[in-house]
Amino acid sequence: MKDIAINVDHVSKIYKLYNKPSDRFKEALGIGKKVKRYTEHYDLNDMNFHVKKGECVGIIGTNGAGKSTILKIITGVLNPTSGKVDIEGRISALLELGAGFNQEYSGLENVYLNGTMIGFSREEIDERLNDILEFADIGEFIHQPVKTYSSGMFVRLAFAVAINIDPEILIVDEALSVGDVFFQAKCYKKFEEFKEKGKTILFVSHDLSSIGRYCDRVVLLNKGSKVAEGIPKDMIDLYKKILVGQDTEADYAKSENVDNKTNADVERRQATTAEEKQVVKSDEEKTATKTTSVPEEKMNSNLTLNPNVSAYGNGKAEIVDFAVIDERGNISNSIEKNTKFKIVMRVKFNEDISDPIFAYTIKDLKGTDINGSNTMAEKVNVPAMKKGDIKTITFTQDMYLHSNEYLLSLGVTGFENGDFVVYHRLYDACNIMVISDKTPLGIVDLNSDIVIE
């Protein structure tokens, strides 16, 4: 397949775990070969995925999911127990920054050492040297032994060497958050340049916002196995379920159908057109926030809802209704910029809960969190809830987001015996369209006041 840069084919990595050191010693000597003195631990179990040339693919998963192991196998640091990896193109990997640096050598000497290890000639390194030194920006320290560097200087040089090699395939493992905020900005800018040049990128990070922003596709791992792969937003939502133990076989089955979806598909599915929106009703009784029983007609019947909303939780509490309310008191998916609006949710409690937390999140269409809050963050005193209670929670705030389409998620969570618990969550329950006659850059308006004298 000429268009495939990385092909991971049935890769497994198994480690032998011994109960005591003597068992390892006996096996090494071949004593009692018929006796199995170890248990097998699968760091990776029959892993399959590929990365197309020019594609940016993210890998996400909990700690111990196998992310670092698969990257080390792809880059040749580890050998698989079974299966194989085929690579088409020269790789530069940002795994453990500074790995291979000689502490006694100067920074400049280490630049040539690392370049040689990657496979470049001295002449090729000479051509890239100015870019490396300019990116690292450590001044005369480049001529000093790296053992005298601060940790910040060390990672700056290591990143500069790796990122300026101009590879065909770039592999990044949690390496874009090194150094101070200004250096991080340089790192992200360089990363974006790689994307614009059509480089193949394999990106591993716990920063879900970066995953959603940069990746064309995401592979989700859990406990050494591939759970699913698809568009970033769907994989991030499934990952969040795994984090709180709320993933199900139905979620995995559903995720198998998202591999070929694009962000345009998400927009068509979740951001419906104005012609499809229902007539907004302005009956004040439907927006009341003091109600103690669920009305026959729900507030959200006046909204355009997501038919594919993702809902989960243990059921001790349930979001039975919600609304987005504009400054005129109307329930509507459309909110004018620079006006006050409300996010309202009505929650029924099916069991006693001592300290519930009520939350909302606004995301863009790629799944990046744009804004959100909750009662714990806002230091709101929430009383204990009894079984059968129905409460209405209202978040009132100003709309400063730019004109665009966004997605609203709602949640009721808490802590039980120190463990985080999800009672009920609604991911991407509906869309919010922000309306404005201004089109500045970015996502939020700082309300510039411009004076020309």
Give Cα 107 distance to the centre of its chain. 34
Report pLDDT for 364.
87
Assess if residue 451 is contained within a domain. Answer: no
Task: Please state, rounded to an integer, the average pLDDT across all residues of the chain.
Answer: 83
Binned at pLDDT 50, 70 and 90, residue 258 comes out as very low
Question: What CATH number should be reported for the domain holding residue 428?
Answer: 2.70.50.60
Is residue 135's pLDDT more than 80? Answer: yes
Residue 312 contacts residue 422 (beta carbons within 8 Å): yes
Q: Are 338 and 399 in contact (CB under 8 A)?
A: yes
Q: Which strands, in side-by-side order, build the sheet including 169-173?
A: 91-94, 169-173, 200-204, 56-61, 217-222, 225-230
* 403-430 pLDDT, tens digit each: 888 999 999 999 999 999 999 999 999 9
> What pLDDT score does 186 carry?
78
CATH number for the domain spanning 197: value is 3.40.50.300
Phi, psi (rounded to 5 degrees) for 416: -130, 115
In a domain, 445, yes or no: no
The pLDDT value recorded for residue 312 is: 92
- Tally the C-alpha atoms within 13 A of residue 159's C-alpha that lie toward its C-beta: 28
| Predicted local confidence at residue 179, as pLDDT | 65
Whole-angstrom Cα Rg for the chain? 26
User: Last residue of some domain: 215, 240, 264?
Assistant: 264
pLDDT in the model for residue 408? 95
Please say whether the beta carbons of 309 and 269 come within 8 A.
no
Closest by alpha carbon to 364, among 394, 403, 331, 336? 403
pTM of the model: 0.73
Clarify whether residues 250 and 339 are in a common domain: no
Strands (E), 333-389: 334-336, 340-349, 357-363, 369-374
Is the model's pLDDT at 185 over the cut of 70?
yes
Question: Do 300 and 238 fall into the same domain?
Answer: no
Residue 387: per-residue pLDDT: 96
Same domain? For 364 and 257 the reply is: no
**251 and 323 co-located in one domain:** no
Does residue 66 have a pLDDT over 70? Answer: yes
Q: Are residues 51 and 167 in the same domain?
A: yes
Complete DSSP assignment for 284-305: GGGG-S---S--SS-GGGGS-B
Q: Do 134 and 191 fall into the same domain? A: yes
Of residues 194 and 56, the one with the higher pLDDT is: 56
- Please indicate, yes or no, whether residues 60 and 207 belong to a single structural domain of this protein: yes
Mark whether 255 and 291 lie in a shared domain. Answer: no
Residue 419 within a domain: yes
Q: Is the pLDDT of residue 91 over 70?
A: yes
Clarify whether residues 244 and 299 are in a common domain: no
Give pLDDT tens digits for 146-159: 999 887 788 788 88
pLDDT band per the 50, 70, 90 thresholds, residue 441: confident
Range of the domain at 344: 272-435
Supply 406's token pair.
Answer: 């966004």
Q: What is the rounded average pLDDT of the residues 172-184?
A: 70
